[in-house]
Chain A
Amino acid sequence: MAIDEDAVRRALGDLEELEDLGGGGQGQVWRVKQNGQETVVKVIPDAEPERVRREAESLKSISSSRVMAFHDTLVVDDGGKQLPAIRGEYIVGGTIADALQAGQRPTIEEALLSARGVLEGLTVIHDQDLVHRDIKPQNVALRGGAWDDPVVLDLGLVRDLVASSITRYPQVLGTLPFMSPEQLRLERAVKRTDVFAVGALLMLLISDQLPYVDPAADQGLGGDDWRRVMLARSERPDWPRWAQLQGVLDQDVAELLAELLATEAYQRPSVARAIELIDEVLASRAS
């Protein structure tokens, strides 16, 4: 549902600039310049007020250069419909998705630094007993367009680990190509679910492939059919298609990805350990 630009203007008052940055299932995002300061406003149509409140609460408790800073919440009156919105830090440089769409590709070292930075952001998120659950190129900004300076965006699907009543499963939450096997099975996400997504992101940056996606075979598949296809692949030992990736991936990177993308969450490293593993790969490459 497109949101009327005038509705956003009315909600914000006097503006110097307003730019529609687009959006997706999670909401529509605007860049706002007001009193000389640039911010982003994410308007979330059809959102449960509880989810918006949760995202705001989650963002409020987090302070890290690796996670988008939160300012406040507001309400946009769009033709009589009250739409909740979140205002936060505007990060100049676009997202990883924007960079990939523009044809940019990082070097292996840059990709590793991107993954490392995302993991640093996740450390702060996980320290609050929260799980992001939707790490993907659209949800990682590159400050100044630099691959080594990523910022985690959009905590819309964040889950409070101790509030077991909030998320009733089974339900599909997240973005299919970046989902871990436990998400594909509609099971509860854990911190290492985010580690899998970082592994998927790293795999994409390095090889242009995703763990359980076969672009040719998956054409036309949608929703639950696609989830079931990916789930079936996740239960096969030949997926992710490591054999096909041989020659594309260096041995050290292949080993790292195998750890981050382990089928079972308990077999994956913690975020702290994942950072150590990346540092080891970076150090050996630098020497």
Chain B
Amino acid sequence: MPLPPPAQFLLDQPYSKRALLPPVGQEVYIQGGRVPGLLLHWGQVHDEGVVADAASAGRLMPILASPGAKGYGREKIGGHKQAADWIRRKAPQTDAEWDQTVDDAVAAQFQLGTAGLILPSRLLSQPDWPDGLQSALDAARRATAGHPTGDMLVNLIIEEPWILEARLRRTLLNQFTDLPEGLGAAIHIHWSSPERPDQPASLEALRIVVSALANDGRRVLLIESGRLGWLALAWGAWGFTAGLSGASWGRNTAVVRRARGQPATRIARIFDHNLLHSVRQATQARLLAQNGYHQCMCDFCQQQAGRGTWSHDLSEQHGLYSLARLTEHVAAPTLAIRHARVKTIVQNAIAFESGLNFRLTGDSRPLHLPAWQAEL
């Protein structure tokens, strides 16, 4: 099955609570929406779990699988079940090792019957400029020689200097656009802090990267990018992923408070599509009474409302549901229309916030919106 057209949202397979994902697809389907896909993660889940979740994905489509090789040399994942073959070995260095890694990861994806192929890489840090990048891309070049590249993406697992620093970014783009035409990029950025991706410099740098690759006719999938990935659809990204794992930027209940000697407390938060931001439960209760507020009617919110205690799982399922619906709203055949739709939704969120009859405070304030608007 070939990859579908741009504006795709895929759910990130987490290590635990994997059963929470198929109901999200089912709920989007019931509500008449466009069902998200599933990105399996060999880097986070043991081989058995990847195979099992591919088989029980329900309505989630398309299914892709990230070779996820940011950490090689791991015999087991989660302490007891075996990792995929190429992850059990040490990180590839020689051409032969790279080729073996690519061959194994591709064969495993063929076996799963994924909609496209993601070629493996390794985590690239600043000292990997330029040779580390070159080795990884050379392996992709060899792997694609003589093959159609339309449904292939190269996994780029990079630390933020590869995006933020002009010299590294230029090398990345020059080398990537030198790969065979049509070969896409599955980019997974490791940001140094949770605030970093929403900072103006980060947004501008990411826009440059996504636009350059998209202008070159390449699919760009932003892995574990959450709402930022949704924004990137306006720059030409083909798709993005978000999920339940701590590393995933789609997570909306990640704020944890610890006091000395006390157990950690997860703050009850929920993604609010009116604000394109996660707000505290108490804040959402006040938002419900505001003019122009569009209440989410998903089953997860209904269940939440009927419970006596806050369910973080339901909140996360609602967040993923919301991102799926937001993605569906901006899907269009041309980038110009997708861009215009994202821009309108961002402007509406800004207008909604400015029209509130109370001030949002603390981490409920959508501080990222002006920076987003500046990049649209």
Note whether A and B form a binding pair.
yes
Q: Interface on A for B, CB 8 Å cutoff?
A: 129, 161-162, 164, 182, 187-188, 190-192, 264-267, 270, 272
| Cα(A129)–Cα(B176), bound, Å | 14
Contact partner of B135 among A164, A192, A272, CB < 8 A?
A164
Across-interface contacts of B138 in A (CB, < 8 A) = 161-162, 164
Residues from chain A with a CB closer than 8 A to the CB of B165 are none
Q: A191 — which chain B residues lie within 8 A by C-beta?
A: 178
A182 B141 Cβ-Cβ under 8 A? no
Quick check: A190 and B145 within 8 Å, CB to CB?
no
CA of A187 to CA of B129, assembled, Å: 11
Report B106-135 residues with CB < 8 Å from chain A CB.
130-131, 134-135
Q: List 18 A-B contacts (CB under 8 A).
A: A161-B138, A161-B178, A164-B131, A182-B174, A187-B130, A187-B171, A188-B134, A188-B175, A190-B174, A190-B175, A190-B177, A191-B178, A192-B174, A192-B177, A264-B170, A266-B170, A266-B173, A266-B216
Nearest-neighbour CB distance to chain A for B200, whole angstroms, equals 21
* In the assembled complex, B212 has its CB within 8 A of some CB on chain A: yes
| Contacts A187-B171, A266-B174 supplied; 15 other A-B pairs, CB < 8 Å | A129-B141, A129-B145, A161-B178, A162-B142, A187-B174, A190-B174, A190-B175, A191-B178, A192-B174, A264-B170, A265-B177, A266-B173, A266-B176, A266-B177, A266-B216
| Interface of A (DSSP majority class) | loop
Chain A residues with CB below 8 A from B313, complex form: none
Residue of A nearest to B174 (CB): A265
Residue of A at shortest CB range from B145?
A: A129
Query: Is B103 an interface residue, CB under 8 A from the partner?
Result: no
Which residue on chain A has the smallest CB distance to residue B135?
Answer: A164
Residues of B within 8 A of A264 (CB): 170, 173-174
Residue B48 at the chain A interface, CB threshold 8 Å = no
Q: Does B181 contact A (CB under 8 A)?
A: yes
By the criterion CB–CB under 8 Å, are B178 and A192 in contact? yes
Most central of B138, B141, B170, B181 by chain A CB within 10 Å: B170
Query: Please, which residues of chain A bring their CB within 8 A of the CB of B145?
Result: 129
Contact of B130 with A270 in the complex, beta carbons under 8 Å? no
B148 to A: closest C-beta gap in Å: 15
Q: Please list the residues of chain B having a beta carbon within 8 angstroms of any beta carbon in chain A.
A: 130-131, 134-135, 138, 141-142, 145, 170-171, 173-178, 181, 212, 216
- Residues of A within 8 Å of B130, CB to CB, are 187-188
Q: Which residues of B contact A187 (CB under 8 A)?
A: 130, 171, 174
Among A129, A190, A270, point to the contact of B216 (Cβ < 8 A).
Answer: A270
Residues on A with beta carbons closer than 8 Å to the beta carbon of B216: 266, 270
Do residues A272 and B181 form an inter-chain contact, with CB atoms below 8 A? Answer: yes
Residues of chain A within 8 A of B141, CB atoms compared: 129, 161-162
Closest A residue to B173 by beta carbon equals A266
User: Which of chain B's residues have a CB closer than 8 A to the CB of A270?
Assistant: 177, 181, 216
Contacts of A129 in B (CB 8 A): 141, 145
Shortest C-beta distance, B102 to chain A (Å), equals: 13
Q: How far is the CA of A192 from the CA of B142 in the complex (A)?
A: 19
Complex CA–CA separation, A182 to B171 (angstroms): 9
Q: In this complex, what residue of B is CB-closest to A126?
A: B178
Cα A191 to Cα B216 with chains together (Å): 13
B6 to chain A, nearest CB (A): 20
List the 6 closest A-B pairs by CB distance, nearest first.
A266-B173, A190-B178, A265-B174, A266-B177, A266-B212, A164-B134
Contacts of B131 in A (CB 8 A): 164
Bound-state Cα–Cα, A252 to B130, Å: 37
Residues of chain B within 8 A (CB-CB) of A266 are 170, 173-174, 176-177, 212, 216
Nearest Cβ distance between residue A234 and chain B, in whole angstroms? 12
Contact partners of B178 in chain A: CB under 8 A: 161, 190-192, 265
Q: Which residue of A lies closest to B95 (CB)?
A: A162
Neighbouring A residues of B170 by C-beta, 8 Å: 264, 266
Shortest C-beta distance, B206 to chain A (Å), equals 15
Complex Cα distance, B343 from A159, in Å, reads: 44
Output the least CB separation between B185 and chain A (Å): 12
Least Cβ–Cβ distance between B92 and chain A, in angstroms = 14
How many angstroms between the C-alpha atoms of A266 and B211 in the bound complex? 11
- A188 to B141 CA separation, bound complex (whole angstroms): 16
Closest residue of chain A to B138 (Cβ to Cβ) is A162
A161 to B134: give the CA distance in the assembly, Å.
Answer: 10
Chain A residues whose C-beta falls within 8 Å of the C-beta of B177 in the assembled complex: 190, 192, 265-266, 270
Which residues of chain B are near A267, meaning CB under 8 Å?
212
Distance to closest chain B CB from A191 (angstroms): 5
List chain A residues, Cβ under 8 A from B176.
266
* Assembled-state Cα–Cα distance A195/B236 (Å): 24
Q: How far is the CB of B96 from chain A (nearest CB, A)?
A: 13
What is the chain A residue whose CB lies nearest that of B216? Answer: A266
**Nearest chain B CB to A171's CB is how many angstroms away?**
14
* A187–B173 CA distance with the chains assembled, in angstroms: 13
A274 CB, nearest partner CB in chain B, Å:
13
- A174 to B48 CA separation, bound complex (whole angstroms): 52
Q: What CA separation (Å) do A182 and B142 show in the bound complex?
A: 24
CA of A267 to CA of B173 in the docked complex: distance in angstroms? 9
* Minimum C-beta distance from B135 to chain A (A): 7
Which residue of chain B is the closest to A181 with respect to CB atoms? B170
Chain A contacts of B134 at CB under 8 A?
164, 188
